[in-house]
Structure 1
């Protein structure tokens, strides 16, 4: 018997067949593109893509509901190494989100990224990309979030970035961009270009953002930073160009000025200029004579200066920048009335270590070393050859007596892991601190790798310095972060900027930015640091050493979680090995030590203060690691019962492990 289908039934059957085929569809071209990418780029073992499975089921891959295209690719901290090949990711024509931050990708972004016309979010921060601003990105006008932070991009920020009309978040910090910032017309909500080499004035369209968005660019000026014409020590900020007034072409809007009137105006202007110049010369001569007669000569033993370099592990680097004041050198040296002599005096603490006075300091050649969260630091080379660092503080609210009492207390701190304060100056408009010169050249986030033994040396020495401040001097540091841990040439650490929190206002924005990323949860409300909040900040520092990640970068994930929460989430998912810096994978037989230090760090960053160890207890736990290590290292590592010193009062030497000659990423 022959069956026949009615024409009315053919259409539903065909639709059913097409729907079945559609439900089992596979984005074949996108799969091939991703296979090509992973075949050429080394990656972590946990990202194991099964070619027999659907690409939509692969780790980090998300498809659209119909499974016809790949819509997002999220592979943060996936151990990706090397350049991104052309004709791979650039073929994902329907891609909406690309997140490949926290890897070791190099080179520039491929030119075929311009094909990703549907891309809305691009996160490539914390890699090792280089070259100029990727031109392919300026064609992606659907982009809303662009994160190129913590790489090695250089050159100028192109004006063509204004093509990205949908952009609301732009993160370019911790790179080597130079030149002026273009006026960006996008309706930005988040913006950061800190720690680059940018110069010139900040465009008005961007002046609404806080100074932390621009800090670390020593030649930037204008709101919200210090005005372009302010100066104290020689300032790197460019002076605004002189505005030459144009001669009015008409009088009363209709008639031009006569030739005689123009000549008269020119002669009058010249005479006025000469009179003004004579007045200025007279005032300067009189002021110089007055200042020299009141200079006080403070004598003390001359001393050499030890060199060092700033640590900046994981990029904690630069602070919030400085607004600055308009005080000049003359303001400091021309004290009038009975207080003039006092105003012109440096106070050397604990006997001092140098033989110069304020006049010598102000005559010194100087250069800006960096802008930190508590002020700006200058390297001053005096005429007799002595080199010191002068820190110009901002937002100080303490009175003279309170300030002097605090500085005398800080001057008593003597420990190999604490940067010594040498002198201070207090006046109504200026507060200065003088330290030994330490050649501050911040390494920056991810710029320079440290081996495991040097990271342990930093962890141990920093703990000793903080325990000394807590136990011996009853001082709360209040500003612990990687940029305040300085390294001597042998990588011995010394903590700086300690004990200053109580002289600043607790309501200023600089206080909020002072320890951003390191701040304990309870300090957000009380704004008063404690011994236990110091322990929390130290725990974040340990996490930096272990992960190689900065706690104050744009984001550790697409939702911007902080470093402790990110570590907790990874450990909770039993991916503990993914927490550690990939640079440490080159060293053998350190896994147990890394896990032990991670456990100490997680105890330090406990949300509840009472659950955190004290600083001496944290130090003791780290020293216990050295004790156990000494059983297999023939006693190379030492320990001590003193919470602030090693067995001989010095940081114990540590074994140097060399990486194997060949490493498979």
Structure 2
């Protein structure tokens, strides 16, 4: 019988196995690809959602608060931070720039100064619940509630600034100032694209609001003793700034809006040092400017001195006495109006706030404080007293007229609900 070759059944089995393995391999690869695409899409969706949640609203309009609170000035920087609502309330968002979304990276450190708690990283501020108080020529100001319960004020500076190690050293110097009549700088973050400044929060608002806010029916008159206390505290804070070291520090933009009121009803000077941080001088209201700063000149801008602060403080004293605002562009300034009335030898009450009629027996003290104000706004810097002298004169007036009637001050009725902190009616 012819030999028949018996087919090797193992051959087709191996071929079939290889075929099945190939099919399984292709299926596995397809599955991996599909899963990878799904994961990538999920990451994209999550990232986009997060970006939308944290993205700051750029541009647009934002009216300052009705009472003008919050270190505010007039020039709005690009991409200003705005109040953003979410389930957890408002938060400090991030801007367009070098960090995520444009602001500083959340992991970047804050420089923490004496008395600051709960602020170690920039992210501690960006994630906290925040309320915008105002914005202006220097930056945007927020009231921020930290996770630990502390409330601070954060100023986000956007203007081009004097930079480098000198600026950092200056910030540390300002941050080292501690006085009962100064709003303390508690922490800061300084980078090439942004500056964050963290201050104490003072819930009773500004001197501007105390003097000029709610002038309609139902307003409680601001008595003389309270006005004199605020004048003395403001003078003491500014005198401390001028004399605390040999650096010849000055404020540079003193107005009634950046004199704040603390829980005890004492005046505290705010915004210290901002003038020196910016390359070009700024002032939101020429009514507070010393005349030597406004003289036409082809040369570089005139140098600011401590005597310029004295002039600005003299304007503040006139606000305290008259109840009138300092004046706006195109109007007769408060200084011009007071000088005109005094030169006409009118009655003292032609100058003074009508709310002071209840303290008519203190007219002599009021007239004395008016003389201090007029001396402070002398046209020539050399004729103005130092702030130390101004404070001593005010204290002399105050001590001679100390009353022991125990009358309640209007400041006792001010709360964070009635007057937000850190105001500026566009200083």
TM over 0.5: yes
Match of 2:128 in 1: 364
Task: Give SS of 2:361's match.
Answer: coil
Task: Give SS of 1:395's match.
Answer: coil
Match of 2:339 in 1: 568
Match of 2:162 in 1: 398
Match of 2:306 in 1: 531
Match of 1:582 in 2: 354
- Aligned counterparts of 2:251 and 2:202: Cα–Cα separation in 1: 20
Task: Give SS of 2:288's match.
Answer: coil
Match of 2:87 in 1: none
Task: Give SS of 2:315's match.
Answer: helix
Pair 574,341 (structure 1): closer, same or farther in 2 beyond 3 Å: closer
Q: CA deviation at 1:627?
A: 3.6
Match of 2:372 in 1: 600
Matches within 5 A, 1:236-385: 280-281=44-45, 319-326=72-79, 329=94, 331=97, 333-334=99-100, 344-350=108-114, 352-385=116-149
Pair 418,280 (structure 1): closer, same or farther in 2 beyond 3 Å: same
Q: Deviations over 1:233-288 (max 9, x none)?
A: xxxxxxxxxxxxxxxxxxxxxxxxxxxxxxxxxxxxxxxxx9x987853755999x
Pair 345,562 (structure 1): closer, same or farther in 2 beyond 3 Å: same
- Aligned counterparts of 1:658 and 1:500: Cα–Cα separation in 2: 32
Which of 406, 414, 427 is equivalent to 2:191?
427
- Asked if structure 2 preserves the Cα contact closer than 8 Å seen for 1:333 and 1:359, the reply is no
Q: Deviations over 1:415-469 (max 9, x none)?
A: 0000110011112221110012223655372525411111000000001101100
Q: Deviations over 1:101-122 (max 9, x none)?
A: xxxxxxxxxxxxxxxxxxxxxx
Pair 367,574 (structure 1): closer, same or farther in 2 beyond 3 Å: same
- Aligned counterparts of 2:309 and 2:176: Cα–Cα separation in 1: 20
Which of 187, 207, 232 is equivalent to 1:460?
232
Which of 493, 511, 517 is equivalent to 2:267?
493
Gaps of 5+ in 2: 1-37, 52-64, 81-92, 296-300, 411-427
- Asked if structure 1 preserves the Cα contact closer than 8 Å seen for 2:112 and 2:119, the reply is no
- Aligned counterparts of 1:320 and 1:286: Cα–Cα separation in 2: 32
- Aligned counterparts of 1:613 and 1:394: Cα–Cα separation in 2: 35
- Aligned counterparts of 2:409 and 2:192: Cα–Cα separation in 1: 54
Q: CA deviation at 1:326?
A: 3.0
- Structure number with the bigger relative contact order (C-alpha 8 A, sep ≥ 6) is 2
Match of 1:16 in 2: none
- Asked if structure 2 preserves the Cα contact closer than 8 Å seen for 1:485 and 1:494, the reply is yes
Pair 503,422 (structure 1): closer, same or farther in 2 beyond 3 Å: same
Q: CA deviation at 1:344?
A: 1.2
Q: CA deviation at 1:657?
A: 8.3
Task: Give SS of 1:589's match.
Answer: helix
Q: TM-score under structure 1 normalisation? A: 0.45
More helix as a share of residues: 2
Pair 346,395 (structure 1): closer, same or farther in 2 beyond 3 Å: same
Q: Does 1:522 align with 2:286?
A: no
Of 459-468 and 391-400, the range deviating more from structure 2:
391-400
Pair 342,369 (structure 1): closer, same or farther in 2 beyond 3 Å: closer
Q: Deviations over 1:610-631 (max 9, x none)?
A: 000011011111122134335x
Task: Give SS of 1:590's match.
Answer: helix
- Aligned counterparts of 2:408 and 2:114: Cα–Cα separation in 1: 41
Q: CA deviation at 1:341?
A: 8.2
Matches within 5 A, 1:230-241: none
Q: CA deviation at 1:397?
A: 2.0
Gaps of 5+ in 1: 1-273, 288-309, 637-653, 660-665
- Asked if structure 1 preserves the Cα contact closer than 8 Å seen for 2:322 and 2:351, the reply is yes
Q: CA deviation at 1:480?
A: 0.8
Q: TM-score under structure 2 normalisation? A: 0.68
**RMSD across aligned C-alpha pairs, in angstroms?**
3.5
